Amino acid sequence: MIGLRFHFCFLVLCASLILPTQCLAHTCLPEDHVALFIFGDSLFDAGNNNYINTSTDYQANVWPYGKTFFKYPTGRPSDGRLIPDFIAEYAKLPLTPPYLHPGYHRYTDGANFASSGAGALDETRRGWVIDLNTQLKYFKNMETLLKRKLGEAQTKKLLSRAVYLFDIGNNDYLAPFATNSSLLLSYSHEEYVDMVIGNLTNVIKEIHKKGGRKFGFLSLAPLGFLPYTKALIPEKSEEITALVKRHNKALSHALQILASQLEGFKYSYTNLCSLLTERMNNPSKYGFKEGKMGCCGTGPYRGIPSCGGKRSLKEYELCGNASEYLFFDAAHPSERANQQLANLLWNGNLDVTWPHNLKALFENKYSEIN
């Protein structure tokens, strides 16, 4: 018995020497631990909208969502995992549940604040979604809880080592056309884009004040060519595309400015628009049989969002194999597409993501553009 006890203690001692940890109360974190905090819209929403008073138009908690991987609907608007789920896997983190999930409080690994339908502007689908400023408020609430658990110094260390992943803005440009809102009509395209970028920039600066240093961003998707747009508002495709181009250019420029202004600011920017457009136009090159039609929905391109039969239109069609489709429903990639995109975010070269990929941010290995 003494020999066994000595052997066990020796193993624990060796483990502690190999993997240094921060042990506080009941929480032990490796010294190189990097958390993942997720902000954004439906491309990243792991199910936060399950827990708010909203319309079924902004929820994905019905079958067949989740059918491929989880085998039940989690609230993710896809047949399986989303981009952040794969990024967490590559970073050796557990899948990040929605922040509003009542049973999840392990914020030392990160948190997902994203909300389907959300925009950078408070006015985008106000009252139905968790806008970006409210997501920031939730982040600050979480920081307070972490300070109680870890103490102020260790919380700041955790937040400074973390990666902050953003996908936001898509709904700011789609919603005004989809809902006949007059918001966009009140501004020039340039003024409107400046407002969206300005709101996002303010949130980034607030997170930076809390210690955040490493950020990942996606450009807008090719919104003018989604199955949703082509089915419901094809006459607006050209105007939406012009806004997407203006936004993506402005975001890239804004990030360069932030890198010159904010101490320690490192970022990864991935052109989602070009990656999806390439797959829409050449699906077979990437292993898809269909690049322009949704797997689940109805109407032209299955672009009318009826998947699951719980929205205003109850009838829907479902393809036989979601992995053969670039899009699972009217606007969201399939799990297979999400995995391909996540791989490019994680270890893509400078043709895909710049000035760093996410792997470099997690590993603190930076290679600057010459």
The gap between the terminal CA atoms of the chain, to the nearest Å, is 62
Structure confidence at residue 25 (pLDDT): 47
Segment among 15-19, 70-74, 298-302 with least mean pLDDT: 15-19
Q: Look at residue 267 and tell me if it is in a domain.
A: yes
Answer yes or no: 332 catalytic.
Answer: yes
Catalytic residue among 42, 116, 306, 323: 42
Domain assignment of residue 164, given as a range: 32-284+334-363
Indicate the pTM of the whole model.
0.92
CATH number of the domain bearing residue 243: 3.40.50
Q: Look at residue 326 and tell me if it is in a domain.
A: no
Q: Look at residue 15 and tell me if it is in a domain.
A: no
277-296 per-position pLDDT tens digit: 999 999 999 999 999 999 99
Answer yes or no: 172 catalytic.
Answer: no
Q: Are 307 and 329 in contact (CB under 8 A)?
A: yes
* 18 pLDDT more than 90: no
Catalytic residue among 45, 79, 109, 329: 329
Longest dimension (CA), the chain: 79
Rg (CA), the chain: 21
Measure CA 283 to chain center. 23
Distance CA 227, CA 113 (A): 26
Cβ contacts of 94-101, under 8 Å, gap ≥ 24: 95/46, 96/36, 96/38, 96/46, 97/46, 97/47, 98/45, 98/46, 98/47, 98/48, 98/50, 98/51, 99/48, 99/138, 99/142, 100/48, 100/50, 100/51, 100/52, 101/47, 101/51
Q: Total structural domains in the chain? A: 1
CA angle, 164 then 122 then 182, to 5°:
135
Catalytic residue among 323, 332, 334, 356: 332
Please, which pLDDT band fits residue 24 given cuts at 50, 70 and 90? very low
Q: Look at residue 305 and tell me if it is in a domain.
A: no
Q: Look at residue 213 and tell me if it is in a domain.
A: yes
* 238 pLDDT more than 90: yes
182 or 221, which is more confident? 221
